[in-house]
Amino acid sequence: MTKIDKLEILKNAGSSWFALGVTVVVGFFLSPYILHHLGDEAFGLWVLIFSITGYYGLFDLGIRSSIVRYVAGYAATNDAEQLNLLVNTAMISYAAIGAVCLLITALGTYFVDSIFHVPPDFLRTARWLFAMVGTSVSLGFPLGVFTGILEGLQRFTLTNLTSMTSTLVRAVLILIALQHGRGLLTVAFITVVLPLVASLVNATIVLRILPIRFSIHSLDRQTLRNIASYSGPTFMIIVASKLRFKTDAMVIGTFLSAASITYFAIGSRLLDYAGEVVSSLAQLFVPMSSQVHASNDVDRLKKIVLAGNRACSFIIFPIAAILVIQGKSVIEAWVGAKYISRSYPVMLILLFAYVLMLSQSACNRVLFGMAKHKALAIATLIEGVANLALSIALVRPYGIIGDALGTAIPLCCTMLFFLPHYVCRLLKIRLGTYIREAFTLPLLLCIPLVGALLWMRHWFVPHNYVQLCEQLLLAGAVYGIGLSWAVWTHRAWSVGGLGASVALADRSGNDSPANESPLNDPPVEIVDGP
């Protein structure tokens, strides 16, 4: 990678990681507090309703990614007229989608007890919760246009600031509410309102930056066609993502109980936190690869894939080692010892699949940047359908363990047998070079970390945050020494052994992928869960 690439990554990642750090810390410590105040049934209902309404994200139809992409292009060319048509067309489209979601919310509120195993004592609460969360997500569609505009303008600092402020205010209000004896509905109201307030703040910023004129007559058919044609593969990936990671609570809630959702959510949520850290870095590779792809620099694209996956592995490999060795202690210190027996096995089953996925996060983002994500969309859609089918088949005989297996097995197949082979063939990288350059150094640096964790656990097993932090700080120092050496000697960024693969690619005679149009990030969730 060039010096400019590294500086750009560090600057953008620093902003994203700071905001993400606030979100992860708040979520990590707030979730058990909410759990113990609400109880297993109420917390499971919380997870279930947010999972159901999370499917409203399917109605995004890939429009969000189009907003980011076209705003960036029109801003670069100072085409104010086309920018105005884009914003108005997206806003009107999202307003229509929001209206449809409001109708679905009304139906879901009425029939929620007929679909899921909701305890009779929680039926009224479930209906109010569904109505509240569904309405918030529906309103979030048109308001989310402004966040997409800021991302297209590369104003990540502003979006991160509003997101971080919303998270902190939400945490404070929830703590106050719980201390005053408020229940699930109050906590949910605070949770869904603060993102809407953040979106309104983003809207105010956008309207001060851009001279946007809102009018129903600015709905442009050609702009709508451009958005639709651009968003097709992204929509497939949205569907696949929902099937991959948002069906577990629904399957468990349908065939088991709301309390079982809580045990599953504890194990999977630890991995979600790790995934958020890696994803905040990986998303930076989309605009970077788009620019490089436009300049036909295939060699540099290869380096972004290899060095990008290596950077992601530097993060996820040590986290995985800590969760395997100290996972029981983490769960005990986080939510209590009673959750270890059921949540720790779920986490272990999902962990291997998540590591395979997150360590190759740069591949997905580069495919988006090259607009070569159609095959990825098909593969992940097949995986998502297999995920749902396996989870339903295995959840009854094996409980939440079966649901975890239903998620992990298809994901492993995609990450082992499709993604690396497809990317290597597309960029003409030898598979051996791909594995060696991306993963060898992160694995080697984890060996001293694993030794330190095992040695400390041999002497005593931590049962609280103080003991756990002592061991993690010592182990982290061991890993930090190795990582610092890799950065100091430039081994963390340099990609060696690529010359042979580049030479082989030049002789292969295959078409270069350099003439495709770039694609930006896939859409993000509008409202987050607990």
- Provide the whole-model pTM: 0.68
Distance between CA atoms of residues 352 and 317, nearest Å: 10
441 located within any domain: yes
pLDDT at 306: 93
Q: Are residues 188 and 89 in the same domain?
A: yes
Contact, 459 vs 453, CB < 8 A?
no
Whether pLDDT at 511 is above 60: no
Residue 265 and residue 216 share a domain:
no
Where a domain ends, among 204, 231, 258? 231
Specify if 286 maps to a domain.
yes
Count up the domains in the chain and report the number: 2
Q: Mark whether 158 and 83 lie in a shared domain.
A: yes
Residues 518 and 294: beta-carbon distance below 8 Å: yes
**11 and 120 together in one domain:** yes
More confidently predicted of 519 and 42:
42
- Give the pLDDT mean for 224-238: 69
pLDDT at 406 over 80: yes
Least confident of 34-48, 101-115, 355-369, 476-490: 34-48
pLDDT at 222 over 80: no
Distance (Å) of CA 321 to CA 29, 270, 451: 21, 13, 10
Q: Which has more confidence, 16 or 513?
A: 16
Q: What's residue 119's pLDDT?
A: 67
Any idea which residue has 């479930």 for tokens? 126
What is the C-alpha separation between 375 and 381, in angstroms, rounded?
10
Q: Between the CA of residue 436 and those of 83, 278, 432, what are the distances in Å?
A: 45, 20, 6
The reported pLDDT for the residue numbered 425 is: 93
For the ranges 93-97, 191-195, 254-258, 499-503, the lowest mean pLDDT is seen at 499-503
In the prediction, which pLDDT does 329 show?
92
Which pLDDT score, from 0 to 100, does residue 55 have? 62
| Confidence tier at 499 by pLDDT (50, 70, 90) | very low
The answer to whether residue 517 is domain-embedded is no
Specify the 3-state DSSP secondary structure of 494: coil
271 domain residue, yes or no: yes
| Structural domain ending residue among the three candidates 178, 196, 231 | 231
Whether residue 526 is contained in a domain is answered as: no
> Do 127 and 169 share a structural domain?
yes
Confidence tier at 464 by pLDDT (50, 70, 90): confident
Most confident of 42-46, 171-175, 291-295, 365-369: 171-175
Q: What is the pLDDT of residues 69-81, one digit of tens each?
A: 677 667 767 777 7
Compute the average pLDDT of residues 369-395.
87
194 and 279 inside one domain: no
Mean pLDDT, range 468-496, rounded to an integer: 84
- pLDDT value for 72: 66
* 7-11, 159-163, 167-171, 338-342: least confident range: 7-11
Q: What is the mean pLDDT of the chain?
A: 79
Task: Identify whether 499 is part of a domain.
Answer: yes
Return the percentage of the chain with pLDDT > 90, whole number: 22
DSSP secondary structure letter of residue 527:
S
- What is the residue range of 105's domain? 1-231
For residue 352, is pLDDT > 80?
Answer: yes
Alpha helices (H) along 180-217 = 184-209
Which ranges in 335-372 belong to alpha helices (H)? 340-358, 361-370
Q: Is the pLDDT of residue 350 over 90?
A: yes
Measured CA to CA, the distance from residue 357 to residue 346 in angstroms comes to 17
Assess contact for 528 and 20: CB atoms under 8 A.
Answer: no
Residue positions counted in the chain: 530
- Angle, vertex CA 453, rays to CA 448 and CA 454, nearest 5: 100
Residues 140, 182 share a domain: yes
Place of tokens 């105040």: 37
Q: Are residues 356 and 483 in the same domain?
A: yes
pLDDT at residue 510 in the model: 36
Nearest Cα neighbor of 49 from 104, 114, 129, 107 is 129
Tell me phi and psi for residue 428, to 5 degrees.
60, 55
Distances (CA, A) of 449 to 20, 241, 329, 444, 465: 24, 33, 17, 10, 19
The predicted-structure confidence for 423-460, as pLDDT tens digits, reads as follows 999 999 999 999 999 999 999 999 999 999 999 888 88
Query: Looking at the predicted structure, is the pLDDT value of residue 171 above 90?
Result: no
CA-to-CA distance for 86 and 218, rounded, in angstroms?
A: 9
Do residues 295 and 339 share a domain? yes
Is residue 188 a part of any domain in this protein? Answer: yes
**pLDDT value at residue 526:** 35
How many Å from the N-terminal Cα to the C-terminal Cα in the chain?
38
Using the 3D structure, point to which of 180, 198, 231 is the last residue of a domain. 231
Same domain as 194, residue 252: no
Max avg pLDDT among 145-154, 333-342, 440-449: 440-449
Token pair listed for 346: 């779920």
- 89 and 149 housed in the same domain: yes
Co-location of 217 and 259 in the same domain: no
Q: How confident is the model at residue 354 (pLDDT cuts 50, 70, 90)?
A: very high
Q: Does 527 reside within a domain?
A: no
